[in-house]
Amino acid sequence: MNSFVRGTQRNFSPSTLHHFRHYIRPMHDLKIYNTLTRQKEVFKPINAPHVGMYVCGPTLYSHAHLGNCRTFLSFDIVFRYLQHLGYKVRYVRNITDVGHLESDADDGEDKIAKRARLEKLEPMEIVQLYAVDFHQVLDQFNLLPPSIEPTASGHIPEQIEMTKQILENGLAYEVDGTVWFDVEKFAKTYPYTQLSNRNLDELLDGTRDNLEGQNEKRGRLDFALWKKASPEHIMRWNSPWGEGFPGWHIECSAMSTKYLGEEFDIHGGGMDLIPTHHTNEVAQHAACHHKNPARYWMHTNMLTVNGQKMSKSLGNSFLPAQLFSGQHPLLERGYSPMVVRFFMLQAHYRSTLDFSNTAIQAAEKGLQRLMSAVKLLPLLKTSETSSVNVVALHDAVYAAMNDDFNTPVAIAELFDGVRMINSINDGKDTLTATDKEQLKKLFNEIVFDVLGLKEETGESAEVVDGLMNLILELRKDVRAKKDFAASDKIRDELAKLGIQVKDSKEGVSWIKS
């Protein structure tokens, strides 16, 4: 039995189960939009409080692009929020380092092998080069690492065994060293297009001419579970059908089964994976294990630039490094990783996210306001009574997150909290010590733990802090000399730069508004 499943079949005491239920569902049920059923459903894990989540990772033949980053950032939020609610999450995100051919029709060259040939390197050198880049980019975006990050090449035996089982079940066939999945035979007993909601007959008609040059395939939609290696193919392994390599789809089925069991909770990826990769994953998994692999299928939407799909041919595609540095014709300047992260969180993961300099600059200002409020929060004076409703704010933020991880609404609610903080600081509203602690807890947990934002420090931040300390010290000197005009001028000029200076009995403080 799979270790994850084995580890979850524990008998909890009634009091422990009560604790989990109370902690995991503080107010509202978490609802997730399920691509499989096309509706929001209450999240009910198979083996609560344990959750198994599998997300399709990158094919490492080039630098990670922003569309990739948006997908993985979205599932970072899912991972963080589930953990925040008290679930024990095993998050598996694979790395494809073999078997992903140039065409979804199972022809063309292996993408990694092609890049290796062009650059005169070993395929695994290409994988290592782009794996390092991939992890550096995700680290800059402050993504948590997955629990397990398996590679396709490290799980060849599991893929061979799964292919053998599908053959034994009569839903695949072997022709000259290649094993094909029999889609039409499978579709007689299982809804092959259930995930994509496409018409099977139309798909069959639309692929009528696709058998040219692939006469070994019996059916138009059949896909490779195992491919015979041509003489020039670099990456190859021995199998019962001769030397070859796995098809692209089988790796995810084999690895998700190994680490999460035959049925797990969440399977995710970009919406571009629905028609072919995820549809075929469901098919081969059901053909092997007689069930759908996941209860909830989640998919992220695409990224556009100024209303157009991001594409190299349109010249509007740029890498994260270019976005951070501003080294691209479409960029007015560079933007920090946290600004980009915050920008992406201002659109729901199922909505199209449109990039523009105007939009990201607005996000930059919004992030500054949010972080300034977080910095100001511990300095707020408390009163005997509260004129603000911290409980209502707390409930509104969690209601948004429980509504299919709705980060834009949650952020909008947090900005109600920002206005609350500023109003209390200006003396227009009051806050008790208890409510202040609850407000601090809410902001710290949601802003940092769930949304994954962080203060961006570094050499430039240290320089700013040093300069501000110097300026405030000079201002203190002129105030001591009763030169209040000079003191006010310093304060007013800083305000023009977006820096608020606050004088109080406790001393002088400053925040960037």
pLDDT digit string, tens, across residues 308-319: 888 766 777 788
Q: Do 385 and 266 share a domain, yes or no?
A: no
Q: Do 113 and 250 share a domain, yes or no?
A: yes
The domain of 267 spans 3-300
Beta bridge partners of 90: 52
User: Quick check: helix, strand or coil at residue 219?
Assistant: coil
What's the average model confidence in pLDDT over 311-336? Answer: 86
Q: Report the alpha-carbon angle 372-375-378, nearest 5.
A: 140
Which of 69-83, 144-158, 201-215, 383-397 bottoms out in mean pLDDT, i.e. has the lowest?
Answer: 201-215
The pLDDT mean for the chain works out to 87
* pLDDT for residue 68: 87
Q: Do 464 and 445 share a domain, yes or no?
A: no
For residue 355, tell me if it sits in a domain: yes
For residue 17, tell me if it sits in a domain: yes
Supply the DSSP symbol for 30.
Answer: -
Specify the number of domains making up the chain: 3
Q: Is the model's pLDDT at 22 over the cut of 70?
A: no
User: Sorting pLDDT into bands at 50, 70 and 90, what band is 463?
Assistant: low
Beta bridge partners of 246: 226
User: Quick check: helix, strand or coil at residue 33?
Assistant: strand
Q: Do 240 and 348 share a domain, yes or no?
A: no
* pLDDT for residue 127: 86
Is the model more confident about 172 or about 507? 172
Q: How much is the pTM?
A: 0.84
Q: Do 379 and 502 share a domain, yes or no?
A: no
398: domain CATH number is: 1.20.120.640
Q: Do 427 and 333 share a domain, yes or no?
A: yes
Whether omega for the bond prior to residue 320 falls within 30 degrees of 0, making it cis, is no
Last residue of a domain, one of 428, 450, 472: 450
What's the average model confidence in pLDDT over 83-101? Answer: 89
For residue 305, tell me if it sits in a domain: no
* pLDDT for residue 140: 96
Last residue of a domain, one of 300, 329, 350: 300
User: Sorting pLDDT into bands at 50, 70 and 90, what band is 509?
Assistant: low
Contact 241, 43 (CB under 8 A): no
Q: Do 245 and 382 share a domain, yes or no?
A: no
For residue 468, tell me if it sits in a domain: yes
For residue 244, tell me if it sits in a domain: yes
Q: Is the model's pLDDT at 20 over the cut of 90?
A: no
What's the average model confidence in pLDDT over 360-383? Answer: 96
Q: Do 289 and 338 share a domain, yes or no?
A: no
Residue 285 amino acid letter: H
